[in-house]
Amino acid sequence: MSFAGTPGLAMDPECSRLLPALCALLADPRQPVADDTCLEKLLDWLKTVTEAESSLLVLQENPCLMELLLHTLKLQDTSPRVLSFSLRLAGIFAAQEDCFQYLQQGQLLLGLFGEAGPLGRAAWGVPGVRSGWAQGLCSLAQHPSALQFLTDCGAVDTVLSLQGDPSLFVASAASQLLVRVLALALHGGTGEQPLDGPPCAQRVVGHLEECLRSPATPQVTRALDVLSSVFGCCQGPWTQVLWARLSPAVAHLLEEDPVPAAPVLVGLLLSVARSPAFRSSDCDLLAQALNRLGPIHAGPLALGVLKLHCCPQALRTQALRVLLQPLACVQKAAVQPPGAPGLLDTAGDSSAMVATLLSKSSCVGLLCQTLAQLEELQPPVGGARMGTGLPGAETTSPAAPAEPLPWPQAPLLGAVTMTLRFCNGSAAPASSVGGRLCGTLAGCVRVQRAALDFLGALSRGMGPQELVTRVFALLLEYLESPDSSPTVLKKAFQASLQWLLHSLGPPSPCDLGPQIQLFLTELLPVLQKRLCSPCWEVRDSALEFLAQLTRHWGGQAGFRQALLASEVPELAEQLLHDPESYVRASAVAAMGQLSMRGLHAIPEVPEAQRLFLELLHILSTDSEGFPRRAVMHVFTEWLRDGHADVAKDREQFVASVLRAAGRDLDWEVRVQGVELALVFLAQTLGPPGASCPYAVALPGAAPPGPPAPVVLPTLCRAQLFEFAFRALFDCDRAVARKSCNLLLLLGAAVDPCGASTEVGGGPSSASVEAALRSWQAGGQGQPLGQLEPEAVVAVLRALDLEGLRATLAESSDHVERRPQSLLQDMLATGGVLEDQADCY
């Protein structure tokens, strides 16, 4: 947690007043110790304080802090929790050099961190104390004096031993401290000089070198971890010298069989490759690593290499080969359709790769990893060109601004469809490896999901017509197959949608191509069947797919014709009554889309009106929140996009919807109600056709529109005010904030007209204000009845909306998050301040 930048977190007099009692409480071993969370918050706050003002000043103005540290030093039976806290506190203060000197005067720091301190006590056995010690030193190691101190108190040896601590937290803190020591010690060094830092740095570097050459993998892992952090966070020229010294030892690791600590080694190599320490000669090391590491570990390295900004083309080609290898193996294992391009032109598969693919668990893991990595590398639309193999085509990729990455789109399509064919049992194996793959991949849901994700991503680059035909055929098989699990089916729907959308390019009124038309003819019966599935997840995915497809293709004549000839719209409408709330929500969204595009209208029935009443019924009566939220989204969209039937009587439509939404118990429905009101307001205020409410979200930016006398009665008839005023005092802050913004916008728009004469008929502004007060106090109040524009204006003027907005902007726990509150709570826990604790 961080308090940085938040006002009210400084060391104010109130905090200074509470602090001595708290320090006394912490120093008293008989008192119950505050829990770790409170101590963490206290440290966070004090850290913020020291960052904002002089640590020395804080320490001098609050001598109780110093007393606490001294007390900790003296007492042997301080609780481990408080001891750890004090160590970290001392470290935070000593981070500033003047304060460090101040603390050193009394040898306080040496006492805390030296051998006479907790190191020698029984409390050292508690992991929290050890990690507090390491974290304290880590905070402290910020200035040159600290370096000498570390040497003087013999901390380096202790840190080195803590690296292998059984507690992971301690080991991690020790590693961070080592990184800090190196950064501090070598900071001044230049790239040209040999590594000649102070003795403690020499000691650490020597230790790391020793670890790298150790036969024990845990030691190698620890050294690699530290070095990854060093090269990840330090940029100085000295890192080049350090790498020059340690890289032979790292290269040596790659010669071992198997390569020890491979995942961490990959992390280090990538850290180095991204840092200034990387030299062009290190490319050989990366190439060697790509060559030597097993397929599972070489993949992440290859992905990292391909994402590097500066990298020779040869290395990138090698990395891409490594990434493509598993899919190439799968592709080779199957009898391919004639003319299908191969992914890689290698003669044989590496034995390690074959071994990995032959074991079920590693095969599935490797393929899922490879597919996800390739998906990450996928070039943007238009970036990919058809390639028939690796070398050759020069295309662009976001991952490689320096050198364009050849993207073998067509072979990849072939390979991924082949993988999916192995998964559904329709691939014919061409080798014994293929035979085993049949058994391993048949019905494997994980690989199917990953492959369908990647196949969907590949739609951006399309491919040769013949392959695209094959892709559609395969997708249809997956959508059709009773054996596709609900999650696989969802992915198949998503992939199909992407292929359909990309195959047509940007929306255009022209007809669909014959291939897509054919696909649709076969797809719609499948969709019908899926909408009738007994498995709700399947019905849900089918409806989502339908909604998306309609959103994009609702204007396509071919699509409209095929859809209207099918039973899909009727089936979708039936699902408005599905027993599963998620399905009802998706059905609402789909029906909303179908209705928007006029794909649900049967000429002789006023269909949209019936659907509107049906959706309104769901909004008023559905016991679950999801369908009601979906209805609000649909209504907002209908209003925004000018649904033909809504446009006939917008005011009546908005009034009915807001009436229902205002009564809803779900705050998200009410927020969406305000959103709908905003859209309506924007449409009413703005020029005809303006439909973007966000453009006028700020009061000052309101465009000139029709005058208030025209606007206000419209808004009144739509009962917008009653809804907005009620929402203003909603118990959920999000609703109130949004409503406040709406009223501010409205106020700014109507204020210039200044008409405020009260006319009889509706309730007076006084009675409205009374009702508002009642709502503010939390009561339900009486319905306002028909509001008159004049009364509304009067109320808008009377309300301090700006003030309300400021109040609402504060988070609901802003009181509890104040440092005073924290100090009071901690004191209350110790029984010092029983009556002043915040209850939350």
Partner 1 sequence: MKLYCLTGHPTLPCNVLKFKSTTIMLDCGLDMTSTLNFLPLPLVQSPRLSNLPGWSLKDGNAFLDKELKECSGHVFVDSVPEFCLPETELIDLSTVDVILISNYHCMMALPYITEHTGFTGTVYATEPTVQIGRLLMEELVNFIERVPKAQSASLWKNKDVQRLLPSPLKDAVEVSTWRRCYSMQEVNSALSKIQLVGYSQKIELFGAVQVTPLSSGYALGSSNWIIQSHYEKVSYVSGSSLLTTHPQPMDQASLKNSDVLILTGLTQIPTANPDGMVGEFCSNLALTVRNGGNVLVPCYPSGVIYDLLECLYQYIDSAGLSSVPFYFISPVANSSLEFSQIFAEWLCHNKQSKVYLPEPPFPHAELIQTNKLKHYPSIHGDFSNDFRQPCVVFTGHPSLRFGDVVHFMELWGKSSLNTVIFTEPDFSYLEALAPYQPLAMKCIYCPIDTRLNFIQVSKLLKEVQPLHVVCPEQYTQPPPAQSHRMDLMIDCQPPAMSYRRAEVLALPFKRRYEKIEIMPELADSLVPMEIKPGISLATVSAVLHTKDNKHVLQLPPRPTQPTSSKKRKRVSDDMPDCKVLKPLLSGSIPVEQFVQTLEKHGFSDIKVEDTAKGHIVLLQEAETLIQIEDDSTHIICDNDEMLRVRLRDLVLKFLQKF
Task: Please give the structure tokens belonging to residue 611.
Answer: 């659907």
Nearest to 255 by CA among 283, 289, 287: 289
Cα separation, 724 vs 735, in Å, equals: 9
By CB under 8 A, residue 392 contacts partner 1: no
Q: Is residue 336 a contact point for partner 1 (CB under 8 A)?
A: no
Task: Report d(CA 501, CA 53) in Å as an integer.
Answer: 58
| Piece of the chain touching partner 1 by CB under 8 A; list 12-20, 115-123, 408-416, 574-582 | 574-582
**Which CB atom, from 7 or from 338, has the smaller least distance to partner 1?**
338
Q: Is 799 left (phi over 0), alpha (psi -120 to 50) or beta?
A: beta
In 3D, which of 607, 636, 632 has the Cα closest to residue 619?
632
Q: Which amino acid is at 743?
A: L
Compute the least distance from the CB of residue 833 to partner 1, in Å. Answer: 55
* Binding region for partner 1 (CB under 8 A) out of 16-24, 310-318, 577-585, 697-705: 577-585
Q: Which amino acid is at 294?
A: G
Interface segment toward partner 1; rule CB under 8 A; list 395-403, 424-432, 701-709, 782-790:
424-432
In the bound complex, what is the minimum distance in angstroms from residue 488's beta carbon to partner 1?
11
Instruction: Please report whether residue 63 would count as binding partner 1 according to CB under 8 A.
Output: no
3-state secondary structure 222-287: HHHHHHHHHHHHCCCCHHHHHHHHHHHHHHHHHHCCCCCCHHHHHHHHHHHHHCCCCCCCHHHHHH
d(CA 192, CA 286): 24
577 makes contact with partner 1 (CB under 8 A): yes
Among the residue ranges 22-30, 270-278, 342-350, 422-430, the one whose residues contact partner 1 (CB under 8 A): 422-430
CB of residue 523 to partner 1, shortest distance in Å? 15
Helix boundaries (H) for 424-510: 432-441, 445-458, 465-480, 486-504
**CB of 241 or CB of 538, closer to partner 1:** 538
Whole-angstrom distance, CA of residue 407 vs CA of residue 223: 37
Q: For residues 834 and 840, what is the distance between their CA atoms, to the nearest angstrom?
A: 15
CA pair distance 320, 356, nearest whole angstrom: 19
Contacts of residue 616, Cβ cutoff 8 Å, sequence gap at least 6: 631, 656, 657, 660
Q: Stretches 64-72, 201-209, 285-293, 524-532: which one binds partner 1 (CB under 8 A)?
A: 524-532
Q: Which residue, 509 or 579, is less far from partner 1 as judged by CB?
A: 579
Single residue of 442, 564, 697, 837 touching partner 1 by CB under 8 A: 442
* Burial class of residue 221, CB neighbours in 10 A (0-12, 13-18, 19+): middle
Return the closest-CA partner of residue 531 out of 488, 473, 576. 576
Half-sphere exposure of 760 (CA within 13 A, CB side): 0
Q: Residue 517 or 566: which CB sits closer to partner 1?
A: 566
Task: Based on the shown chain and the rule CB under 8 A, indicate whether residue 528 belongs to the binding site for partner 1.
Answer: yes
| Residue closer to partner 1 (CB basis): 83 or 423 | 423
Give 539 or 650: the residue with its C-beta nearer to partner 1.
539
Size of the site for partner 1 (CB under 8 A): 33
431 binds partner 1 (CB under 8 A): no
* Binding residue for partner 1, selected from 443, 554, 558, 699, defined by CB under 8 A: 443
Whichever of 530 and 597 has its CB closer to partner 1, that residue is 530
Q: Exactly one of 44, 403, 540, 580 binds partner 1 (CB under 8 A); which one? A: 580
CA angle 249, 255, 257 (to 5 degrees): 125
Within residues 155-214, the interface with partner 1 by CB under 8 A covers none
End-to-end C-alpha distance for the chain, whole angstroms: 18
| Among the listed residues 128, 32, 24, 134, the one whose alpha carbon sits nearest the alpha carbon of residue 80 | 128
**Residue closer to partner 1, measured from CB, 489 or 702:** 489
CA 517 to each of CA 265, 417, 428, 462: distance values in angstroms, whole numbers, following the listed order: 52, 22, 29, 17
Residue 537 as a binder of partner 1 (CB under 8 A): the answer is no
The yes or no reply on residue 439 touching partner 1 (CB under 8 A) is yes
What is the SS3 assignment for 464?
coil
Among 207, 436, 449, 633, binds partner 1 (CB under 8 A): 436
Binding to partner 1 by residue 532, rule CB under 8 A? Answer: yes
Query: In the bound complex, what is the minimum distance in angstroms from residue 567's beta carbon to partner 1?
Result: 7
* Nearest-angstrom CA–CA distance, 31 and 64: 17
Query: What b/e readout covers 94-110, taking b as 16+ CB neighbours within 10 angstroms?
Result: bbbeebbebbeeeebbb
Is 481 an interacting residue with respect to partner 1 (CB under 8 A)?
yes
Is residue 484 near partner 1 by the rule CB under 8 A? yes
Interface mask toward partner 1 for 541-570; x: CB under 8 A? --------------------------x--x
Query: Is 726 near partner 1 (CB under 8 A)?
Result: no
Q: Does 645 bind partner 1 (CB under 8 A)?
A: no
CA atoms within 13 A on the CB side of 800: 7
Single out the segment in contact with partner 1 by CB under 8 A; choices: 203-211, 534-542, 720-728, 748-756: 534-542
CB 418, min distance to partner 1, A: 13
Tell the smallest beta-carbon distance from residue 310 to partner 1 (Å): 47
574 belongs to the binding site for partner 1 (CB under 8 A)? yes
Select from 181, 377, 538, 563 the one that contacts partner 1 (CB under 8 A): 538
The only residue of 120, 337, 425, 687 in contact with partner 1, by rule CB under 8 A: 425
Could you tell me which stretch among 221-229, 364-372, 493-501, 527-535 binds partner 1 (CB under 8 A)?
527-535
Instruction: Tell me the Ramachandran region of residue 783: left when phi exceeds 0, alpha when psi lies from -120 to 50, beta otherwise.
Output: beta
Q: CB count, 10 Å around CB of 695?
A: 13
Q: What are phi and psi of 334, to 5 degrees?
A: -115, 155
Q: Give the nearer residue to partner 1 in terms of CB position, either 94 or 333.
A: 333
**∠ CA 266-270-273, rounded to 5°:** 140
Residue 579 sits in the site that holds partner 1 (CB under 8 A): yes
Window 485 to 514, contacts with partner 1 (CB under 8 A): none
Least gap, CB of 429 to partner 1 (angstroms): 5
Least Å distance between CB 518 and partner 1?
21
**3-class secondary structure, 334:** strand
Q: Which of 77, 196, 284, 483 binds partner 1 (CB under 8 A)?
A: 483
Contact between 445 and partner 1 by CB under 8 A: the answer reads no
Q: Which is nearer to partner 1, 526 or 616 (CB)?
A: 526
C-beta separation of 261 from 224 below 8 A: yes
- Our finding on whether 530 is near partner 1 (CB under 8 A) is yes
Q: Does 361 bind partner 1 (CB under 8 A)?
A: no
Q: Answer yes or no whether residue 92 interacts with partner 1 by CB under 8 A.
A: no
How far apart are CB 550 and partner 1 at their closest, in Å?
21
> Is residue 623 near partner 1 by the rule CB under 8 A?
no
Stretch that binds partner 1, among 374-382, 439-447, 654-662, 755-763 (CB under 8 A): 439-447
Token representation of residue 741: 């913004």
CA distance 139 to 85: 13
DSSP string spanning 355-424? HHHHSHHHHHHHHHHHHHHHHHH---TTT----SSSSS-----TT-SSSPPP--HHHHHHHHHHHHHHHT
Pick 532 or 647: Cβ nearer partner 1: 532
Q: Which stretch binds partner 1 (CB under 8 A): 145-153, 230-238, 440-448, 545-553?
A: 440-448
Options 154, 232, 404, 429; binder of partner 1; rule CB under 8 A: 429
Q: Which residues bind partner 1 (CB under 8 A)?
A: 425, 427-429, 434-436, 438-440, 442-443, 481-484, 528-530, 532-536, 538, 567, 570-571, 574, 577-580
